[in-house]
Structure 1
Amino acid sequence: MIFGAPDATPHVPGVNSHAACAPSALRESTQQIARDPLRWDFDQNGPLVAEGLRAVDLGDLPTNPATPQENRSLVASTTASILKAGAVPLLLGGDDSVPIPFFAGFEQFGPLTILQIDAHLDWRDERAGLKHTFSSTMRRASEMPWVECIIQVGQRGIGGSRAVDLADARAWGATLFSAATVRQNGVQPILDHIPPGSRCITTLDCDGLDPSVIPAVLVPQPGGLGYLDVVELLHGVTRRARIVGFDLVELVPDADVRGLGVLAASRIVCVALGCMARQRSAKGPTDQ
Structure 2
Amino acid sequence: AIRKESRGLGSIEAYKSIAPARVVDLGDVPVYPRNFDKSLDIITECFRNLSEKGVLPLVLGGDHTIPLPILRGLLRGGNVGMVQFDAHSDTNDEFRGMKITHGTTFRRAVEEGLIDPKRVIQIGLRGGPRYTEEDLAWAREAGMTLVTTDVFEERGRAWVIEEARRVVGNAPTYISFDIDGLDAIYCPGTGCPEPGGFSMRDAMVILRGLLGANIIGADICEVCPPVDSSGITALHAAHLGFELLCLLAETARSRAK
TM-score by length of 1: 0.80
Paired position in structure 2 for 1:203: 176
Paired position in structure 1 for 2:146: 176
Per-residue deviation, 1:62: 2.2
Amino acid at match of 2:36: P
Contact 1:125 1:136 in 2 (8 A): yes
Paired position in structure 2 for 1:11: none
RMSD: 2.1
Per-residue deviation, 1:257: 4.4
User: Take 1:84 and 1:233, find their aligned partners in 2: how far apart are those partners?
Assistant: 30
Question: Within the alignment, does 1:31 sit opposite 2:11 as a pair?
Answer: no
SS at match of 1:154: strand
Amino acid at match of 1:30: S
User: Take 1:80 and 1:109, find their aligned partners in 2: how far apart are those partners?
Assistant: 13
User: Take 2:59 and 2:67, find their aligned partners in 1: how far apart are those partners?
Assistant: 8
SS at match of 1:212: helix
User: Take 2:3 and 2:226, find their aligned partners in 1: how far apart are those partners?
Assistant: 15
SS at match of 1:70: helix
Count, aligned residues: 252
Distance 1:174 1:159, change over 3 A: farther
Paired position in structure 2 for 1:237: 210
Contact 1:120 1:158 in 2 (8 A): no
SS at match of 1:238: coil
Question: Within the alignment, does 1:93 sit opposite 2:61 as a pair?
Answer: yes
Per-residue deviation, 1:126: 1.2
Distance 1:208 1:262, change over 3 A: same
Distance 1:160 1:97, change over 3 A: farther
SS at match of 2:3: helix
Paired position in structure 1 for 2:156: 186
Paired position in structure 2 for 1:127: 95
Aligned counterparts, 1:14-163, within 5 A: 25-34=1-10, 37=11, 41-42=13-14, 44-46=15-17, 50=19, 53-108=21-76, 110-148=78-116, 149-158=119-128, 160-163=130-133
Amino acid at match of 2:86: D
User: Take 1:272 and 1:110, find their aligned partners in 2: how far apart are those partners?
Assistant: 23
User: Take 2:130 and 2:65, find their aligned partners in 1: how far apart are those partners?
Assistant: 14
Amino acid at match of 1:27: R
Single out whichever of 58-67 and 83-92 deviates more from structure 2: 58-67
Per-residue deviation, 1:159: 5.6
User: Take 2:136 and 2:224, find their aligned partners in 1: how far apart are those partners?
Assistant: 27
SS at match of 1:108: coil
User: Take 2:128 and 2:221, find their aligned partners in 1: how far apart are those partners?
Assistant: 19
Contact 2:120 2:168 in 1 (8 A): no
SS at match of 1:261: helix
Contact 1:123 1:161 in 2 (8 A): no
User: Take 1:159 and 1:102, find their aligned partners in 2: how far apart are those partners?
Assistant: 30
TM-score by length of 2: 0.89
Distance 1:231 1:104, change over 3 A: same
Paired position in structure 2 for 1:12: none
Paired position in structure 2 for 1:265: 237
User: Take 2:231 and 2:134, find their aligned partners in 1: how far apart are those partners?
Assistant: 38
Which consecutive unaligned segments of at least 5 residues does structure 2 have? none
Contact 2:71 2:114 in 1 (8 A): no
Per-residue deviation, 1:94: 0.7
Which consecutive unaligned segments of at least 5 residues does structure 1 have? 1-24
Deviations 1:53-77 (A, max 9, x none): 1111111122133211111111111
